[in-house]
Amino acid sequence: MRTLTIVASLLVLAGCSGDPEPSRGQSSPPPATREAAPPPATSPDPKDPGPVLAAPPEPAPPAPVAGESIVVAHTLSVTLDPATHGLEGSDTVALDGAGVRTVDLELNKSFTVSGVSFGHLAAAFTFKDGSLHIDLPAASEDHFTLTVTFKGTLFDPPHRDEVRFITGEKCSGTIQPEGAFLAGGAGWYPDAGDGMKRFTITAKVPEDWEFIGQGARHEYDAKTRKCTWCDPVPSDRLECVAGPYVAAELKSGRVTVRSYFFKDDISAAEGYRKSAADWIEHYSKLLGPYAYDDFSVVENFFSTGYGMPSYTLLGQDVVRMGARYLGEGGLGHEVLHCWWGNGVFIEGGNWCEAATTYCSNYYWVELSQGAEAARKYRRHEMVRYAMHVNASNDYPVRKFLGKVTEADNEIGYSKGSMLFHLVRRRIGDAPFWAALRRVVHDRTGSRAGWDDFRKAFETESGDDLGALFKAWLDEKGAPEMALARSAKGLKLTVGGPLKDFRVRVRTTMPSGPVEDDVDVKAGVAEWTIPATATRVEVDPEFDVFRRLSLEEVPVCLNRVVVDDTHTVVIPDGDAAPYKDLLDRLEGWQSMKAADATPEKLAGKSVLVLGGPDVNAVAKRWAEAGKLKRDAIEIRADGWSAADEIVKLGQDRALLLTLPSPDDAGRQATVFFPASAAAAKPARLLLYYAWDSWLVWRDGKIAARGEFETGKPLAMDLQK
């Protein structure tokens, strides 16, 4: 996701419709179209927006120091030439600052500057190594403009740095026949500082191309494809894309939802437009109205999954996922970034992925699939965290900036999002959703940090949440809980951050389960239990995000993947069906099956490719009866799983993970295709790494499951 930061705008920009902006020094109330509403008194109902809040006062933006200037707006005009990777343009830069005699701007060092004007006067300038120094012919007034004419080439073809963890392809900015990506950090227009600016851009592209900017599209010429885009709110940078797109649109209330897809994928475009419109409606009712007039779903010629102000940029591989991507964790997540991250913008740490993950990925599961699905989601977040975050890669949530590794994902997205769940459990639904609506209402069009959320939650609830936020954001790790008997009854001991919180305890009585809340103080909770109680479970719904013990983490392929000892055992014969997968296993030790003796596999977590018919290790384990758990069993001539007995030759495949037969302290995964045709899923095994077992029938997943894990926070009292 691309993160921007904005404040109230200061100027009326030519070519933009909408409310006029006040002069500097005045506050800028949110436009009427962004009038947010608090939630109802109970759990939020997306059909009921609730009463309207009055527009709050906003602090005036800081004035420039005497003799210095700040950039407040850009009005750009650019022409793109994909054949030469060229960009030619001019930028009228609006600045504030009285008595200014020099201005310094930054521009891509490979560009050239042909002229600078100060109003109607030419200005002297030098441009070297990306620094544009301008000497004004006269001292500036409070508000003034500089027009810079420039041109250059932008060509950094996309490339991929990571193999296993998918973060998309890297590109600092490029203009090429496949498309153009004008990244904010590419320096493709002159700018200075990290302050907030308004952007208007008029672009001319080839007549079979379309240009997409931020905000809303104006003055579009369908024949020449020339168009103007204008942001309704400021931003810290401008990012635009262009390419040989087929455009279409859908009007949904006041919002125009557009799709820009390549012609090979236009059959999917309508579904994306309709889904985006639905998500905008849902989030508008949940959190407050959408800040923009347009939303665009744009297909990219390289692999991305970005959220920008008023659009999302999705790689062709993502677009072709179709219906699988339209849900809460895909398109819904990117749309929601127009509230969190590209509506309310970040400062002081990347909180927007945590907020977006909670309000989209998690809350939609709870809202649409029910309590049990939500419980599974929360537990899975803890499983992922336990697998991927350790002492060597851990860091506080407040230091999370973006996702590069699995550890980043689990810290910034998972642990970060579960702070919102802890707060919601503590203060209740009504204050929680009211606070989020208030942040949207008060901060859309400006920056916000973690402390703004804390203050909103405290205002709505009356609770002091300082200790909770400090522990969760500024300390490494997650709570580690241990349950034991004590002289008083039962004792819960908590290590790691968060020493004071409330946890649910379920006690099974002869009449049925009884649930109570127990307060943990200074990392300890102790309580008595009724004599007739038969079982106690602490946090049975996994509401308190914590570090799971090893026995609570299910056996699965990912436990092999994250183990530093991971080894792949390949058949002695034909390994061609596994070539694509083996190319992805960068850094893995590889062994031929004939060489993989018990002694050599001791101390290693193992991925065995091929069943007993082709892999000697799988055969040895199967003949010893070691590949059996519950109703799943691999034999020399096939397997039993999912109420089916499979024989060699069928178009069936099984992925099974167990403790390694050669070292019970490690994990072993066996991929057993019953025929050559059944080996096709092998190239995607790393995408199916969370289940203990999976069955493919005719190339499609037919069944999957997870073996039972230990429950150290549950105790049978009658034993």
* Confidence at 168, pLDDT banded by 50, 70, 90: low
* Confidence at 312, pLDDT banded by 50, 70, 90: very high
* pLDDT (average), residues 674-683: 94
Cα dihedral 343, 346, 351, 357, rounded to 10, equals: 20
- pLDDT of 8 > 90? The answer is no
> What residue has token string 């069936």?
652
Query: Does 93 share its domain with 218?
Result: yes
* Confidence at 117, pLDDT banded by 50, 70, 90: very high
* pLDDT (average), residues 303-329: 93
3-state secondary structure 573-592: CCCHHHHHHHHHCCCCEEEE
Residue 35 lies in a domain: no
Residue 108 lies in a domain: yes
Residue 48 lies in a domain: no
Query: Does 528 share its domain with 566?
Result: no
Q: How many domains does the chain have?
A: 4
Query: Does 495 share its domain with 467?
Result: no
Predicted pLDDT of residue 153 = 97
CATH code of 96's domain: 2.60.40.1730
- pLDDT of 30 > 60? The answer is no
Query: Does 540 share its domain with 446?
Result: no
Q: At what angle do helices 416-427 and 371-388 cross, to 10 degrees?
A: 140
* Confidence at 62, pLDDT banded by 50, 70, 90: low
Residue ranges of E strands in 62-218: 70-81, 86-96, 102-106, 112-118, 121-122, 124-128, 131-135, 143-153, 174-176, 179-182, 198-204, 210-212, 216-218
Predicted pLDDT of residue 515 = 96
Predicted pLDDT of residue 51 = 39
Predicted pLDDT of residue 252 = 97
* pLDDT (average), residues 57-84: 80
Last residue of a domain, one of 244, 272, 292: 244
Q: Which residue has the higher pLDDT, 296 or 65?
A: 296
* pLDDT (average), residues 283-307: 95
Query: Does 576 share its domain with 531?
Result: no
pLDDT digits over 483-514, tens only? 999 999 999 999 999 999 999 999 999 999 99
Long-range CB contact pairs, 497-503, < 8 A, 24+: 497/471, 497/472, 498/468, 498/471, 498/472, 499/471, 499/523, 500/467, 501/422, 501/426, 501/468, 501/544, 502/425, 502/426, 503/538, 503/539, 503/543, 503/544
CA dist., res. 600 & res. 556, Å (int): 22
* pLDDT (average), residues 607-634: 96
Q: Which residue has the higher pLDDT, 19 or 70?
A: 70
pLDDT digits over 415-460, tens only? 999 999 999 999 999 999 999 999 999 999 889 999 999 999 999 9
- pLDDT of 162 > 70? The answer is no
Predicted pLDDT of residue 33 = 29
CA dist., res. 704 & res. 681, Å (int): 14
- pLDDT of 651 > 60? The answer is yes
Query: Does 437 share its domain with 580?
Result: no
* Confidence at 70, pLDDT banded by 50, 70, 90: very high
Last residue of a domain, one of 244, 277, 301: 244
- pLDDT of 348 > 60? The answer is yes
- pLDDT of 698 > 70? The answer is yes
Query: Does 104 share its domain with 235?
Result: yes
Residue 469 lies in a domain: yes
pTM, two decimals, is 0.87
C-beta of residue 229 within 8 angstroms of C-beta of residue 104 = no
Last residue of a domain, one of 527, 548, 569: 548
Query: Does 155 share its domain with 125?
Result: yes
C-beta of residue 207 within 8 angstroms of C-beta of residue 225 = yes
Predicted pLDDT of residue 36 = 32
Residue 443 lies in a domain: yes
Predicted pLDDT of residue 233 = 87
CATH code of 405's domain: 1.10.390.10
- pLDDT of 23 > 70? The answer is no
Nearest 5 degrees, angle CA 181-CA 183-CA 188? 100
Query: Does 459 share its domain with 530?
Result: no
Structural domain boundaries enclosing 425: 344-474
Predicted pLDDT of residue 111 = 98
Residue 671 lies in a domain: yes
Query: Does 104 share its domain with 229?
Result: yes
* pLDDT (average), residues 377-392: 96
Spatial CB neighbours of 370, under 8 Å, sequence gap ≥ 6: none
- pLDDT of 188 > 50? The answer is yes
Predicted pLDDT of residue 56 = 40
Query: Does 494 share its domain with 438?
Result: no
Query: Does 226 share its domain with 365?
Result: no
* pLDDT (average), residues 198-203: 97
